[in-house]
């Protein structure tokens, strides 16, 4: 991964996860952290407090009572949920339009990541009856390596994008033009950011087509979410959607009734989340 490391070293965007967000990641990783520790870190950034409280009270979370303090927000939603919101808030500003390619735009990529994150959370909770917080965070972060590539080596990155068409592999093209790919870059970044190990692995492997991971793993969930959202037009590159490994196709076919309901509900869930990823 030497080339991926070089890309990260050259990546100079100072907005990449502010100190307060990396501090929260450290607290999440520390089993001895308390809600009070979490609240104290967030309070270090008053503008973030205002934005998080606005998001907590948005339709996406559907709380019955208005939340007017970070302490209550942590109590209602938990530390992981607030951490995920802070990461989302930090990344929104980075996904701003500054691309020269007809097929790639940061805004389109952000909408893709938002759709995948919401869909992944729904899959984890509805299909596998698991907590969806990590699936959501993985969806938001999974394609961030593309942002790094577009900034560090735009000429070769856009050349790879221009040659990406239905049926082609973006990671193969990245390797050809850049000698690395966004999965490796994203993996190394999430290691630096102290994200949970299963999120690191899922980001590294989210374009694998082997069948040695389960549908209910984060890798499987992100791949299914990318496939579903791609079918609905929420793609990262032009109209190029993601293919699905055979074992995940079989899983979806076995649970088609549940997936049909999920797909029908996805647009409404994305609408409810507009305050979270929009603006």
Own/partner long-range contacts of 55-59 (Cβ < 8 Å, ≥24 apart): 55/85, 55/89, 55/275, 55/276, 56/82, 56/85, 58/272, 58/273, 58/274, 58/275, 58/276, 59/272, 59/275
Kindly report the pTM of this predicted structure: 0.91
What is the model's pLDDT at position 279?
54
Parse the chain into domains and list their residue ranges: 2-11+95-277
Residue 248 is encoded by which pair of tokens?
């995940």
Report percent pLDDT > 70 for the chain.
94
Highest mean pLDDT among 40-49, 167-176, 217-226: 217-226
Which CATH architecture group holds 2-11+95-277? Orthogonal Bundle (1.10)
HSE, CB side, 13 Å, CA atoms: give it for residue 246.
Answer: 2
**% of the chain with per-residue pLDDT over 90:** 56
Residue 88: both structure tokens together:
């989302």
**Residues 150-173: pLDDT tens digits?**
989 999 999 998 888 766 788 999
Weakest-pLDDT range from 11-15, 43-47, 260-264: 11-15
């Amino acid at each position: 991964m030497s080339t991926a490391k070089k890309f990260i070293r050259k990546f100079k965007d100072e907005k990449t996860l502010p100190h307060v967000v990396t501090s929260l990641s450290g607290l999440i990783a520390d089993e001895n952290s308390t809600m009070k520790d979490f609240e104290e870190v967030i309070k270090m950034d008053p503008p973030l407090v205002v934005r998080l409280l606005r998001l907590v009270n948005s339709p996406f979370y559907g709380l019955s009572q208005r939340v007017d303090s970070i302490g209550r927000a942590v109590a209602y939603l938990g530390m992981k949920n607030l951490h995920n919101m802070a990461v989302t808030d930090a990344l929104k500003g980075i996904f701003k339009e500054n691309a020269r390619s007809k097929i790639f735009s940061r805004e389109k990529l952000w909408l893709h990541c938002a759709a995948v994150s919401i869909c992944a959370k729904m899959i984890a909770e509805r299909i596998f009856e698991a907590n969806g917080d990590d699936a959501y965070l993985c969806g938001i972060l999974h394609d961030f390596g593309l942002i790094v590539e577009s900034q560090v080596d735009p000429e070769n990155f856009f050349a790879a994008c221009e040659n990406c068409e239905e049926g082609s592999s973006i990671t193969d093209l990245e390797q050809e033009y850049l000698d690395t790919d966004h999965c490796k870059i994203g993996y190394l970044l999430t290691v630096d950011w102290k994200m949970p190990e299963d999120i690191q692995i899922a980001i590294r492997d989210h374009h694998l087509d082997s069948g040695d991971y389960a549908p209910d793993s984060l890798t499987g969930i992100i791949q299914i979410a990318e496939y579903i959202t791609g079918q609905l037009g929420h793609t990262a590159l032009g109209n190029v959607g993601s293919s699905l490994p055979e074992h995940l196709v079989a899983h979806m076919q076995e649970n088609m009734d549940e997936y049909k309901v999920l797909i029908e509900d996805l647009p409404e869930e994305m609408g409810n989340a507009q305050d979270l990823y929009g603006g």
